[in-house]
Amino acid sequence: MTTRTILVVDDSAVMRKLIAATLAGDVYQVLLAEDGAAAMQHARTAAIDLVLTDWNMPTMGGHQLIRELRQLASHAETPILVLTTEASDTEKADARAAGASGWLRKPIEPATLLEVVASLLDAG
């Protein structure tokens, strides 16, 4: 089985650790970034199969990160899942317009996260 690489972007160190612990194992390699700027460094140097990003972050938030990832040929089709506490329909529409593949509200059950991640990777 091929290991898939997932980039987790969140300004909360606790949330990054929780998501990484949920995804840890033989199937996924997890890269961590504290904001969009750090995520872009990974995106330019690593082959990434899926991005999980928070929406509101300092330096570069999820909206800008998604737009910038979509401008890279290597990530034009990479699934990007927004994982946030936000629930606004306007923000969801903004995320879709920027190129997000989906939107999940925190907190999220680990089993649900694993299921959504697997379905996005299988669809890609």
**The token pair that represents 88 in the structure block:** 């606004």
More confident residue, 50 or 87: 50
Spatial CA neighbour of 26 closest among 4, 48, 52: 4
**4-58+83-123 under CATH 3.40.50.2300, yes or no:** yes
**Cα separation of 114 and 72, whole Å?**
26
Mean pLDDT of 78-88: 93
- pLDDT, average across residues 75-97: 93
The mean per-residue pLDDT over the stretch 18-24 comes to 93
pLDDT at residue 1 greater than cutoff 70: no
11 confidence band (pLDDT: 50, 70, 90): very high
Burial status of residue 64 (CB atoms within 10 A of its CB: 0-12, 13-18, 19 or more): middle
With a cut of 80, say whether residue 28 has pLDDT above it.
yes
Other C-beta atoms closer than 10 Å to the C-beta of 120 total 20
- Cα–Cα distance, 120 to 49 (Å, whole number): 9
